[in-house]
Homo-oligomer: A and B are copies of this chain.
Amino acid sequence: MSADPDRTGLPGRQQDKGGVTLREVARAANVSMITVSRAINNPQQVSAITLEKVNAAVQALGYVPNLMAGGLRSSRSYLVMALVPTITGSLFSGMLEALTASLEAKGYQLMVGQIGYEQAHEKSREDALLRAIIGRRPDGIVLTGIMHSAQGRQLLKSSGIPVVETWDSTPTPIDMLLSLSHDAIGRAVCDYLHDAGKSRCAILSGDDERAQRRAEGYRRRARELGLPEPLVHPVPAPTTHADGRAGLRAVLARDPSIQAVFCTSDMMAIGVITEAVAQGLSLPGQLAVMGFGDMDIAASMTPSLTTVRVDGAAIGATAADMIATRANGHVPAQAVVDIGFSIVKRDSA
């Protein structure tokens, strides 16, 4: 199989290097290069007759503009970079879909990078990734979580690229912030379970920073309320269904009187429910279960899952707006927006 089997069928060949250039289109249409450029990017600046000639030439030659060249000259890449811990999980996919859609509507493309959950451990990898990203001169960068490394923050700041940190809170954002308090989430879950009459509680927590902060918020609130110390069972992120099953067995072994389990992900919570059902426990009577994320399945499973919902789509859409505003040289109305969360009451707690 050759690289380009049938180049027939198109007038003119165009393989040599990176394809047809503006110059060739200009020659074919008998106008200057800049006129072709305008016909493509600002058609209203060009007369109807010229436009037609240019379009015909573009069509005939199969011209596709080289965005690297245009971006180099105009300092606008129409590229936005998003960094997420993992593409796999469903937690951030709502944000990514909204980002893609909002940006596409504004003429931008989204590039997704995976940074992993381990952050702190691999400073050099993070640094390399950041340089690769900044090197492409994106018009904006969306970070999942807060950038902690001083070096990374400095790199980002001095790049002058609009940055939106999301899904977490900090008093000192690099630039813009879509704030979410994991401490408040943990506290709210504690209050909710307390109101439901559950005081002996276990927490199945991913070992990533934000999950740990939710667990910590829960613990602090439990202390304030004078409740027994929650049993915290750490699990390496990303957390799975199997982690939930094993986690419930583990905490029950340590304390059979556990009345509720708060999981830092829905998938783990579903695992806990699976295990609880397998052990013949009644839900939420004998065991209440809460998750985090509000996956699709949470609403339609049996029993349905009480969980914490964060509006990822809103994060994506707002981040896109902020970046587009800044890329156009304006200042967003607010550089810090609190996203908030809600507890979705269902059958499991």
Q: Which residues of A contact B (CB under 8 A)?
A: 1, 3-7, 9-10, 14-15, 17-19, 62, 64-69, 71-72, 75, 77, 79, 86-88, 90, 93-94, 96-97, 100, 109-114, 131-137, 154-155, 157-160, 162, 173, 175-176, 240-242, 245, 267, 270-271, 274, 277-278, 296-297, 299-302, 326, 335-336
Contact = CB atoms under 8 A, between A and B. Distances in A.
B326 A302 contact: no
B160 A3 contact: yes
Given A64-B159, A173-B1, A301-B241, A87 B77 contact: no
A297 B267 contact: yes
B72 A296 contact: no
Contact of A158 (B4, B137, B274): B4
Contacts of A10: 154, 158
Mostly helix, strand, loop or mixed at chain A's interface?
mixed
Given A19-B134, A68-B137, A87-B93, 11 more contacts: A1-B176, A4-B175, A19-B159, A62-B155, A68-B77, A86-B97, A87-B97, A90-B90, A109-B136, A110-B112, A242-B296
B77 A88 contact: no
A297 B241 CA distance: 6
26 contacts: A1-B175, A1-B335, A14-B160, A15-B158, A15-B160, A18-B75, A19-B134, A19-B159, A19-B160, A68-B68, A68-B72, A69-B72, A87-B87, A87-B97, A88-B90, A88-B94, A97-B114, A100-B114, A109-B132, A240-B300, A241-B297, A241-B300, A241-B301, A242-B300, A245-B300, A271-B297
